[in-house]
Amino acid sequence: MSNTVVFIRRNKIFNDMVLRYSKDILGINDFITISEYKNANLYIDIKKYSISDLTSYDWENIEKALDINEVILKDRLLRNIEYIQAKELVLVVSKYFIELFKNKKYNNLIIYPVDNYVTDIMCKIARYYDIKVNGISNFFIQGYKRVTVYGEYTNVREVSENEVNKIYDLLIKQFKSYMASSFQKALKNSILYYFKFKIRYLYFYIFKYKILNQLEYDYISTPYSATVDKLNKFFPFRYFINQVDNINKKSIYIPMHYHPEATIEHWSDSLKNADYITSLIESVRYFSDNGWEVYLKEHPAMCFRQDLKLYKSLKNIENTYILNPFLETSKIMEKFDSFLIWTGSTGLEALINGKTVYFASSNYYYQKKTNDKYEKVYLETEREKKELIKKVLSNTIEWK
């Protein structure tokens, strides 16, 4: 019997990546698959147990393995529903994974990075029972994948100086990530997503969840994902400015996160950042109140998904401006000396390009060393910059 479990879901691209990682990189060909959907060897049946099924052993070990309130606050679904319902979901899913892992039939769990409460609990319970958890994630530079479960840094390989120099040269020459989206692409996708959301809402949320009481994450979380659910979201451009001239020396640039999403909910070191909107507004207010001009740029993929109330709130803060999401990041980087970052890759690009970066959160490429709310970092030398690139690449695998 296989001692490795590989997590899959409904997405073929995700499945192909995690299965290839298991086979080609880790060399594990004998495994069983697990999923919330009935497309795997093991089915995560959220309705298998009720809280009355939890034994005293279960209650004791759930308390040791995880913090229920933290799991709830970090999940876009659980923090938006009634607390008792959210807590019950955490408990019954924990019971499922305790039963799966407590007899230690499995040694390895391979997964895409944690991005919802089910995968969060699965990893926490697995680790509690000393099961090794491996994760594979996309990376903003083409030809690489990151090895991570919660967005954390893990040293997985040696990196040559030639490779470091190649990436260094790439990042200082108006680098543009292959993941960047154009206006035309974003608009086309958003029109499609608008109609898909209407269908998903009726089929997933109303029919699957409300009528059939199916608790799979995609069904129950439908209203709480980043999506184009209202027609007015197609008209955000009245809040944006299209060019940046005469930048004040005391100006700061804030690239906004795609949210809700794992990179801010589960990858940040601070629980308060899981509620990204309030964290963002607090940060803008902090710098504005301290005499800065604040320039934000919406994540291109969020352009037609963002609640316009956020833009209104931000524009009400003195000396705050929102840039058109489709302005080239490399061109903007030339104009600003200071950046505010949570976990995004723009902070890495900024440091390599000689900018000052204020970190609201530790992340895979920088660990905060002080208790400052926004820790100020500047790399003086080319050697420091290349050491940072070397560290980042050591957390990746080449992926052709």
Across 18-22, 169-173, 222-226, 328-332, least confident range: 328-332
d(CA 397, CA 196): 34
Work out the pLDDT band at 262, boundaries 50, 70, 90: very high
Angle (CA) 45 271 101, round 5°: 30
Checking DSSP bridges between strand 144-147 and strand 396-398, what pairing results, if any?
Answer: antiparallel
d(CA 223, CA 216): 14
Question: Which run of H or E residues covers position 375?
Answer: strand 375-377
- Structure confidence by residue, pLDDT tens digits, 14-72: 999 999 999 999 999 999 999 999 999 999 999 999 999 999 999 999 999 999 999 99
CB-CB neighbours of 45 under 10 Å? 14
360 and 342 in contact (C-beta within 8 Å)?
yes
Residue 178 pLDDT greater than 70, yes or no: no
| Most confidently modeled range among 10-14, 67-71, 248-252 | 67-71
Across 155-164, 177-186, 284-293, least confident range: 177-186
d(CA 254, CA 323): 10
Per-residue pLDDT, 272: 87
Q: What percent of the chain has pLDDT over 90?
A: 89
Work out the pLDDT band at 282, boundaries 50, 70, 90: very high
321 and 293 in contact (C-beta within 8 Å)?
yes
- Structure confidence by residue, pLDDT tens digits, 69-96: 999 999 999 999 999 999 999 999 999 9
DSSP string, 81-131: S-HHHHHHHHHHHHHHHHHHHTT---SEEEESPP-SHHHHHHHHHHHHTT-
d(CA 138, CA 396): 10
- Give, in order, the Cα–Cα distances in Å from 315 to each of 40, 311, 333, 358: 48, 6, 22, 22
34 backbone dihedrals φ, ψ, rounded to 5°:
-135, 145
Q: Which of 399, 389, 383 is nearest to 349 (CA)?
A: 389
311 and 339 in contact (C-beta within 8 Å)?
no
Work out the pLDDT band at 361, boundaries 50, 70, 90: very high
255 backbone dihedrals φ, ψ, rounded to 5°:
-75, 120
What would the mean pLDDT of 313-341 be, rounded to a whole number?
Answer: 92
What would the mean pLDDT of 169-196 be, rounded to a whole number?
Answer: 85
Residue 179 pLDDT greater than 70, yes or no: no
The answer, yes or no, to whether the previous bond of 260 is cis (omega within 30 of 0) is yes
Work out the pLDDT band at 183, boundaries 50, 70, 90: confident
Q: Which residues, listed in sequence order, are joined to residue 71 by a DSSP beta bridge?
A: none
Work out the pLDDT band at 330, boundaries 50, 70, 90: confident
Helix axes 83-101, 56-65, angle to 10 degrees: 100
Is pTM, for the whole model, over 0.75?
yes
d(CA 10, CA 47): 19
Residue 1 pLDDT greater than 70, yes or no: no
Work out the pLDDT band at 334, boundaries 50, 70, 90: confident
